Amino acid sequence: MEKIAAILIAAHFMGDFFLQPKKMVRNKRLPLMLILHGAIHAATTWLLLQLWNCWEAPLSVFAFHTIIDLTKQRFGRENAATFIADQTAHLFSLIVLAGFLTHGAEGVVFSGIGYQLFTGFAGLIATIRGAGFLITLFTRELINRNNLKLDGLQNGEALIGQLERGLIFLFFMAGQPSIIGFLLLAKAILRFEESKKQRQAEYILVGTLLNFAAATAISSATLWAMRL
Please say if the pLDDT value at position 153 is more than 60. Answer: no
Query: How many residues can be counted in the chain?
Result: 228
pLDDT reported for residue 89:
95
C-alpha–C-alpha distance, residues 76 and 80, integer Å: 13
pLDDT reported for residue 143:
72
Residue type at 15 in one-letter notation: G
pLDDT averaged over every residue in the chain: 85
The larger pLDDT score, comparing residue 105 to residue 90, is at: 90
Q: What are the helix (H) ranges across the chain?
A: 2-17, 22-26, 31-49, 56-73, 80-103, 115-125, 131-146, 156-173, 180-190, 198-226
For 177, the 3-state DSSP assignment is helix
For 217, the 3-state DSSP assignment is helix
pLDDT reported for residue 125:
96
C-alpha–C-alpha distance, residues 208 and 214, integer Å: 10
pLDDT level of residue 85 (50, 70, 90 thresholds): very high
Q: Which of 34-48, 150-164, 176-190 is predicted most confidently?
A: 34-48
Please say if the pLDDT value at position 156 is more than 80. Answer: no
pLDDT reported for residue 188:
64
Question: How far is the CA of 114 from the CAs of 47, 49, 134, 201, 228, in angstroms?
Answer: 11, 10, 29, 44, 13
pLDDT reported for residue 199:
63
Sorted by sequence, the CB contacts under 8 Å of residue 176 that are 6+ apart come out as none
pTM assigned to the model: 0.88
Domain boundaries, the chain: 2-111, 124-225
C-alpha–C-alpha distance, residues 54 and 7, integer Å: 14
